[in-house]
Amino acid sequence: MAKLNLTLGEVRDLVGEGVIFGHADFVCRSIVRLDHAGPSDLSFVKGEKYFAAAEASRAGALVVPQALGGTQAHQLVLSDPHAGLARLLDWVAERQRGKATGIDPRATVAESASIGEGVAIGAGAVICEEAVVGDRAVIDANVFVGCRSVIGDDAVLHPNAVIREDVTVGQRTIVHAGAVIGSDGYSFVSDEHGHRRVPQVGGVVLGDDVEVGALATIDRATLDETVIGRGTKIGDMVHVGHNCRVGEDVLLLPFTAISGSVEVGDRAIFAGRSGSSDNLKIGAGARIGACSVAFKDIAAGETVWGNPARPKMEAMRIQVLLGELAEMRRELRELRADRKERKQG
């Protein structure tokens, strides 16, 4: 349950729009899902699919896409209730975080590091030589920031995140717990003596407003930089290989695995458990379906599915045929038996 203690009018002011039906001074104690909401709670209705549940709810106030006639609840009508919920929850999250500024005495900060104003650095954090931490950045407990790395203004690094050396983290970028940015790429040269590791001496650049999920890994480049573009959102346990260049506003859903030296265009989407082989180009706006693996370049705007990934309709036709294989096999056996009988006759 997310505590609010705001009037409906204050909620409208926070989300920046809306028309109130009912009383603007109604106090919303908490934000609660429709089926759990009580007379002092605020709940959200994303669309027409939920209208019946909203009218049956005991919520004292509702955020809705249009005014509803079958409820006594106070209503705040928004053009996009889901976006409004996101803005309101941003405010709630900031209050819940409640980080005091300053450097915890149990943190280790190198003398050559540069620390901005209003920074919060938690217990056990390590800031190495020549690192730069921007204004109002939050470095949670046990975070490691390597030599010469740069953490942008208002960035948030959650507990146990690892930012290796020569990594740039953009402004307002969020790195969740346990993520590793700048680990060595998987690169080996094999000969009769075994496998010799190829050192990765480049860096990683995360653009502004990027989000990296828990336990995700982004490998450093061999020579230059692995790049994640502005606004890209990376889910939990995603792997981005060395030398990749991921564009702006890309979505990499949880468990995605992208091999080294792949170029991903702006606004492309990799659905859950999808991936690609190395040295590919994924066009802007391309969509890789869940559990699909790309083994060749994907054109801009194309939607692919399957393993190996194919154009979606082709892949779906193949899937339908797979379901018919047992019947086709039975019919083939009958045809062969009939042919054999005719030959014998």
Distance from CA of residue 54 to its chain's centroid? 29
Q: Which two tokens stand for residue 122?
A: 């938690």
The kind and range of the H/E element at 87 are: helix 81-97
Torsion 279-173-231-1 (CA) sign: positive
**Three-state secondary-structure class, residue 41:** strand
Buried b (16+ CB within 10 A) or exposed e, 246-270: bbbbbbbbbbbbbbbbbbbbbbbbb
Distance CA 79, CA 61 (A): 17
Question: Of these residues, 74, 176, 239, 242, which one is catalytic?
Answer: 242
Q: Given strand 138-139, what is the order of strands in its sheet? A: 102-103, 120-121, 138-139, 156-157, 174-175, 211-212, 233-234, 251-252, 269-270, 287-288, 303-305, 310-311
Q: Which two tokens stand for residue 142?
A: 């046990």
ω before 254 within 30° of 0 (cis)? no
Residue 74 among the catalytic residues:
no
Question: Using an 8 Å Cβ cutoff, are 93 and 78 in contact?
Answer: no
Residues classed as catalytic:
242
